[in-house]
Amino acid sequence: CGSAPEWTKRLKRAFADGVVAKTYLALATGRPAEDRFTVDAPLAITGASAVRVRMHVAAGGLPSLTEFQVLERRTAADGAAVALLACRPRTGRQHQIRAHLHHAGLPLVGDKIYGPDEAIFDRFTRHAMTDDDRARLRLPRQALHAWRLELPHPRSGERVALETPLPADLAAFWAACAA
């Protein structure tokens, strides 16, 4: 029948072997030109930013590929274009989805590092954010949600899909956007 450590080992192996498909939902600022697009851009921490953990597209970076699908386009209350995206990272780099969206000119709503101004992150860490910072971010947190996970069941090997809806705060923001 198997034990919990055995199932855990099998699940870890499935992640390591790349047979687990992860899909995230993102609310991005901007209007993507295409309904489907891919960002294939190497990522590295380059020191080109005051934010030490910020990833940058860099020639010497690690290979990084993310596929995006526009699920819907709307307009935020302040007139900004916003898109609901399904994001499928094909590699697993730190901040990959956020960095790739920033690179594509579609930063996440609420992202203090890759959003409208990285200086907001500095003010955030010093508890000195301004009302203007909050207005520019539109949300107090980044609008990225782990939505769907598809993996082989550790016992049967049968494909299992797990899904969870947008959290209430992100759903409320999206609902307030005009279609």
pLDDT tens readout for residues 21-64 = 999 999 999 999 999 999 999 999 877 666 677 888 998 999 99
Averaged pLDDT, 10-29: 90
The answer on pLDDT for 176 being more than 80 is yes
Averaged pLDDT, 109-124: 93
- pLDDT score for 35: 98
| CB of 55 closer than 8 Å to CB of 99 | yes
Q: What is the average pLDDT value for the chain, to the nearest integer?
A: 92
- Lowest-pLDDT range of 7-16, 44-53, 61-70: 44-53
Averaged pLDDT, 157-172: 95
For the question of whether the overall pTM of this predicted structure is more than 0.85, the answer is yes
Q: What share of the chain has pLDDT > 70, as a percent?
A: 96
Task: Return the half-sphere exposure (C-beta side, CA atoms, 13 A cut-off) of residue 97.
Answer: 24
> Could you give the residue ranges of the DSSP H alpha helices within the chain?
4-16, 96-103, 119-125, 131-137, 168-176
pLDDT tier at 136, thresholds 50, 70, 90: very high
The answer on pLDDT for 92 being more than 60 is yes
- pLDDT score for 97: 97
- pLDDT score for 102: 96
Amino acid found at 133 = D
Which of 94, 93, 78, 92 has the alpha carbon at shortest distance from 29?
Answer: 78
- pLDDT score for 15: 81
